[in-house]
Amino acid sequence: MLSSRIRGALVAAAFTAISAPAFAHVSFETAQATPNSTYKAILRIPHGCDGQPTLKVRVRIPEGVVAVKPMPKAGWKLETTKGAYVRAYQVHGETVSEGITDIVWTGSLDDAFYDEFVFQARFTDAFQPGATVYFPVVQECEKGTEEWVQVPAAGEDPHKLAMPAPGVKIAAAANAAPAAQKIGALTIEQPWSRATPAGAKVGGGYVRITNTGTETDRLIGGSFPNASRVEVHEMKLENDVMRMKQVAGGLEIKPGATVELKPGSYHLMFMDLKTPLAEGQSVKGTLVFEKAGTVNVEYTVRGMGGAPAAAEHKH
Ligand SMILES: [Cu+2]
C-alpha cells in the first residue's frame, strides 16, 4: 500500500516530466512577412523566468523594420523608445529616417499563464526574400531575466539554440512584375500606378500596349477599385498651357504599333479615388478595348518620387 507521501512524490515527478519539455520558446504567431507590407506581430510569451512571473516584456525592433505601432494592453503600461534609423526608407512615398526602436510592456504575467503582445510593423525592402529577421526579446522578472536574443550563425540550425530570438521569414514580394499578357492581338505589359497623397481624388495608370494584329483597336476605358470610373487621357497644349483631356473615341492602337501610357503623356485616370494608393501595393483592375474586349490587369504601385507638378492632376 502506497503511503500518501510516496503518491505525492509520484505526482510531483509526473508534473516535472510534463512541464520540463514544455519549455517553449518566445515566438511570433505569424512567422512570415512580405517586404513593403504591414505585418501584425503577435508575440507569444509561454512562461516566466524559472517559475517567476514576467514583469516586463522588451522587444527590440531591428533595422529595416519601420512604422512600428504597438497595441496597448489592458493591465500593462506601454512605453516606446524612438531613435534614428541607420538609413532612410521609403514608406507610402515618404522618406522615413526615425521611429520606434524598442517597445516595453510593464505588468505581471504568472509563470503558469500564457499571453500575447501585439504590434504592427512594416518590413521595408531592406530584406531579401528568404532572409529571417530576428527581434530580440527580453522578459524581466522579479528575480532574473529570460533573454531571447540568440541569432543563428550562417548555416547554424536555429532549433539548436537555447534562447533564440523570435524571427520572421521574408517571403518573395507579392508584386513581382507579371509577364506580358496577351488578349486577342494585343500584348499588355507592365501596368503600374503611382502612390497618391492622402486626399488625392485621382490616380494615374500606365501600361504598354502592342498591337500584333492587322486591325486597329482602341483602349476605351476600364475599371479600378475605389475609383468611380476610369478615363483615358492625353496631354494637350492649350493656349500655351499643358492640360489633360479625355481622348475622344478611345486611344488608337494601330496594327504593329506600341503605345506607351506614361506620366506626361497618354495615361489612364482613376477618377474619384476613395482611398490613397500606397507604394508597394498591387491593385487589380481591368482595361477595356473596343475589339479585344476586357482584360484583367494588376497595377504595381510605385513611389511618388519625381511626380509631375500637382497641376497635372487638376481637371
Ligand atoms: Cu489625367
- Out of 170, 201, 216, a domain closes at 170
- For residues 155 and 219, state if they share a domain: no
- For residues 208 and 124, state if they share a domain: no
Ligand 1 centroid distance, CA of 89 (Å)? 29
Ligand 1 centroid distance, CA of 181 (Å)? 24
CATH number of the domain residue 265 falls in:
2.60.40.1890
Residue 14 counted as domain residue: no
Residue-wise pLDDT tens digits, 78-128: 999 999 999 999 887 788 999 999 999 999 999 999 999 999 999 988 888
- For residues 150 and 44, state if they share a domain: yes
Ligand 1 centroid distance, CA of 135 (Å)? 44
Ligand 1 centroid distance, CA of 234 (Å)? 7
- For residues 29 and 160, state if they share a domain: yes
Ligand 1 centroid distance, CA of 194 (Å)? 13
Instruction: Tell me which residues of the chain have a pLDDT lower than 70.
Output: 1-23, 173-179, 305-315
- Out of 170, 191, 215, a domain closes at 170
- For residues 29 and 147, state if they share a domain: yes
Residue 241 counted as domain residue: yes
Ligand 1 centroid distance, CA of 215 (Å)? 27
- Give the separation between CA 38 and CA 119, rounded to whole angstroms: 10
For residue 169, count CB atoms less than 10 angstroms from its CB and return exposed for 0-12, middle for 13-18, buried for 19 or more: middle
Ligand 1 centroid distance, CA of 144 (Å)? 63
- Domain extent at residue 85: 24-170
**Per-residue model confidence (pLDDT) at position 91:** 83
Residue 4 counted as domain residue: no
- Which grid cell is 277? 494608393
Residue 5 counted as domain residue: no
Ligand 1 centroid distance, CA of 264 (Å)? 9
Residue 134 counted as domain residue: yes
- For residues 83 and 205, state if they share a domain: no
Residue 13 counted as domain residue: no
- Out of 137, 170, 203, a domain closes at 170
- Give the separation between CA 255 and CA 126, rounded to whole angstroms: 43
Q: Which residues contact 261 (CB under 8 A, 6 or more apart)?
A: 205, 206, 207, 208, 209, 251, 267, 268
DSSP string, 20-67: TTT-PPPEESS-EE-TTEEEEEEEEE---BTTBPEEEEEEEPPTTEEE
**Per-residue model confidence (pLDDT) at position 9:** 44
- Return the residue matching grid coordinates 531579401: 128
Residue 175 counted as domain residue: no
- For residues 122 and 194, state if they share a domain: no
Q: Is the separation of the CB atoms in 276 and 300 below 8 Å?
A: no
Ligand 1 centroid distance, CA of 200 (Å)? 13
SS3 156: coil
Ligand 1 centroid distance, CA of 240 (Å)? 18
Ligand 1 centroid distance, CA of 212 (Å)? 27
Domain count, the chain: 2
- For residues 34 and 157, state if they share a domain: yes
**Per-residue model confidence (pLDDT) at position 237:** 82
